[in-house]
Structure 1
């Protein structure tokens, strides 16, 4: 028996509300465990095995959530297009911390209305995304490059510096990834950097135009009107 679209939407909304906090916690766990696994050299193998197990468990949770929402939506292939970020998060663990940004935007709403203006929300979203993506990208690049014999990224600090230069599209070129996986991450970071920079610049420009328009209207308005 076919389920009405309204019922499917209601069930999907309830599921997403229930999973909001667990997925947020899973994102925090993934980022913390992944950072520990990459940066904590010289620790006991037990702790590395434990962090790997936790990161795998977070992936299982995200995959299970994605499968449930795919079934509840009844959209099949269309769900992959309309929920492209969730699809990417399941396929690419590097993007998993971005789930924290979704929770942040949900917390900014009160009585169904956003607490912040559209332009501020876009800039805040882009800023949080850049920070989380940059940290995860630096971890991934450092993990790939530190064992390469001809690597120019020789410390995690170099990886952070390279990430900042890449996301801001500056690209100094003093340190660059040399491994295939490191360069793959670099291409993704370049694309994300262009998109985020464009979103922030466009929102800021639009906000300035609105401010100037309001000032012009107040200047041209007759006294006492």
Structure 2
């Protein structure tokens, strides 16, 4: 399909939600630029992998540069990379702070700048952030100020960018998950974690990929924070 085949960039793409997003976009016949610290080369000629720490601006620059060199364009960016550190506020360390801001905030900032610059050239594009519903429903059982500080910032930036680029053909949205069954949650924790949602169970990785693909196809939706959280943000 040559230069007209769409291209998605996905961060945090080596496992869990990120790896599922790579498969989901390939299922939509997108070419994919996948990045993560330890990502391995792909056997699929339409998947370019770029290993690196997204907190390092050089990684972001390399991802976009190599993606454009290989595929000729950038149509979608999914800012999926992130870390979650749950601690009482006074126990956070300087290392915790730097890690959260580096990956969750700086990791979003530079690659989004570069991707939008490419999208402007063609007058179309879509950026999606993966945030967290804890931004909207603080929980004393899960003290997580660094997640609220960084991911909450992404929610605000999503709306700001959506308005800034609304007339330039570029949409910006976010998916705000509850607790999702990923390798970071051992099976023995699932019952307790599931009980934290009004629906009584955790979400599946497919719930997040389905939400991202919905936003991808929803041309009249921009500036949306789509909660996929089993009712958490609605109340308790």
- Shared fold by TM > 0.5? no
TM-score norm. by structure 2 comes to: 0.30
Which entry has the higher C-alpha Rg, 1 or 2? 1
TM-score norm. by structure 1 comes to: 0.31
- Greater per-residue strand proportion: 2
- Greater per-residue helix proportion: 1
